[in-house]
C-alpha cells in the first residue's frame, strides 16, 4: 500500500461524515405532548361524510322546496279570490241607485226621521227625486176593467150536433119513429140474427147518447146497435115517454164458441176494453162499457 494514506474502510468514512452513522445507531424518536381536544391521529384537510347523510339532506331540501311552493300557491289563490270578490262587490255598488216611485201619486212621500230634506241647494234644482204630481181624474172618465181570460172547458159528451162537432164524428139523420139505432141511422127492426150470443156493452142510455156512442164505436172499427129497453108504440106513433137503450155489439157467436171461449169471443172482448179507455178519455162521459156481459138473442 502507499504510505501517508489511511486505510480505513469505506463504511467508517461514511459514519464520520454523517456524524451519527446511518447503520450504526438509530436516531432517537421524538415525542410531542398531546394537547387537550386533540387526538393521536394527524389532522386531515378533508372531511369524510357518510353517503346516507347526503341522501337524507337532499330529501329534506326537496321537501322544504315543495312545502314552500304549496304555501305560496295557496296564499296566492286566496288573495286572488279576495280581489275577485272585492271587484264584484265594487261593480255591484257602482250601479245607479233605483228610484222608488210612490205607489199612490196623491199620497205625500214619507221621509224617515232625521233625513235631510231634498230641497234646492244654493238656489239650484232639487237634488232629490221629484214627487210626481197627482193626476186629476175626470168624473165622467171610467177606468178600463182588466180583461179576464177564461180557460176553455173540455168538450162534454152531448147528443146531436154538439157531440158530432166535439168528437169529429158524423151522426146520421135520426128518425124518432124508428125504434132501433144503427151507425147508418134508425131502423124499424133489429138487424141481428136470432139464436146467437151478443155482447152487451152498456144499458140505460138516452136516445141521443146511445146514438153518439154507436157512431163513435163505428168510427173506431166496432159496429153496434141500440136496442130499446122498454116497450114502444109498434104503430109508429111517437110516444111521450122517451125509451132507454142498451148498446150491443153486432158480431154474434154461437153457443159452442161461447162455451169454448173461442178467439172470436176473446177478440171482441179485448177490442171493447181498449175502446172503453179511449171513449172515457175523449168524451169524459159518465157511461162506460167496462162491465160487459153476453146474452142470447131469441127469436119471436
159 found inside a domain: no
- CB of 199 closer than 8 Å to CB of 249: yes
Whether residue 198 contacts residue 295, with contact meaning beta carbons closer than 8 Å, is answered with yes
Question: Exposed, middle or buried: residue 211 (CB in 10 Å: 0-12, 13-18, 19+)?
Answer: buried
Query: Is there a domain that residue 214 lies in?
Result: yes
Domain that holds residue 265: 174-296
Residues in a beta bridge with 186: 181
User: pTM higher than 0.75 for the full model?
Assistant: no
Residue 135 lies in a domain: no
Number of domains in the chain: 1
The answer to whether residue 3 is domain-embedded is no
Residue 10 domain-assigned (yes or no): no
Q: List all residues 6 or more positions away from 181 whose beta carbon is below 8 Å from its beta carbon.
A: 174, 207, 210, 211, 214, 225, 226, 245
Average pLDDT per block of 10 residues along the chain, 300 residues long: 59 61 50 53 62 90 93 87 70 50 53 51 51 57 55 44 59 89 93 94 92 92 90 54 88 91 91 91 87 87
Task: Give the model's pLDDT for residue 152.
Answer: 45
CA distance 284 to 266: 26
Q: Is 51 exposed, middle or buried (0-12, 13-18, 19+ CB in 10 A)?
A: exposed
Amino acid at each position: 500500500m502507499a504510505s501517508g494514506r489511511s486505510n480505513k474502510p469505506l463504511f467508517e468514512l461514511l459514519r464520520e461524515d454523517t456524524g451519527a452513522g446511518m447503520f450504526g445507531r438509530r436516531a432517537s424518536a421524538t415525542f410531542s405532548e398531546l394537547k387537550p381536544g386533540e387526538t393521536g391521529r394527524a389532522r386531515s384537510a378533508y372531511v369524510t361524510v357518510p353517503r346516507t347523510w347526503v341522501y337524507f339532506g337532499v330529501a329534506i331540501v326537496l321537501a322544504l322546496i315543495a312545502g314552500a311552493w304549496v304555501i305560496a300557491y295557496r296564499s296566492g289563490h286566496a288573495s286572488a279570490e279576495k280581489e275577485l270578490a272585492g271587484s264584484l262587490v265594487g261593480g255591484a255598488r257602482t250601479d245607479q241607485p233605483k228610484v222608488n216611485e210612490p205607489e199612490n201619486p196623491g199620497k205625500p212621500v214619507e221621509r224617515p226621521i232625521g233625513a235631510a230634506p231634498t230641497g234646492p241647494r244654493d238656489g239650484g234644482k232639487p237634488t232629490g227625486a221629484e214627487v210626481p204630481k197627482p193626476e186629476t181624474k175626470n168624473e165622467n172618465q171610467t177606468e178600463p176593467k182588466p180583461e179576464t181570460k177564461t180557460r176553455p172547458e173540455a168538450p162534454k159528451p152531448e147528443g146531436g150536433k154538439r157531440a158530432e162537432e166535439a168528437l169529429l164524428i158524423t151522426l146520421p139523420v135520426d128518425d124518432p119513429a124508428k125504434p132501433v139505432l144503427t151507425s147508418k141511422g134508425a131502423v124499424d127492426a133489429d138487424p141481428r140474427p136470432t139464436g146467437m150470443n151478443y155482447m152487451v156493452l152498456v144499458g140505460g142510455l138516452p136516445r141521443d147518447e146511445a146514438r153518439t156512442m154507436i157512431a163513435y164505436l163505428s168510427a173506431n172499427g166496432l159496429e153496434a146497435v141500440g136496442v130499446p129497453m122498454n116497450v114502444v108504440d109498434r104503430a109508429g106513433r111517437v110516444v111521450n115517454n122517451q125509451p132507454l137503450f142498451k148498446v150491443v155489439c153486432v158480431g154474434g157467436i154461437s153457443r159452442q164458441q161461447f162455451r169454448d171461449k173461442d178467439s172470436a169471443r176473446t177478440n171482441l172482448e179485448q177490442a171493447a176494453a181498449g175502446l172503453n179507455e179511449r171513449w172515457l178519455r175523449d168524451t169524459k162521459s159518465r157511461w162506460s162499457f167496462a162491465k160487459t156481459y153476453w146474452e142470447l138473442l131469441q127469436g119471436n
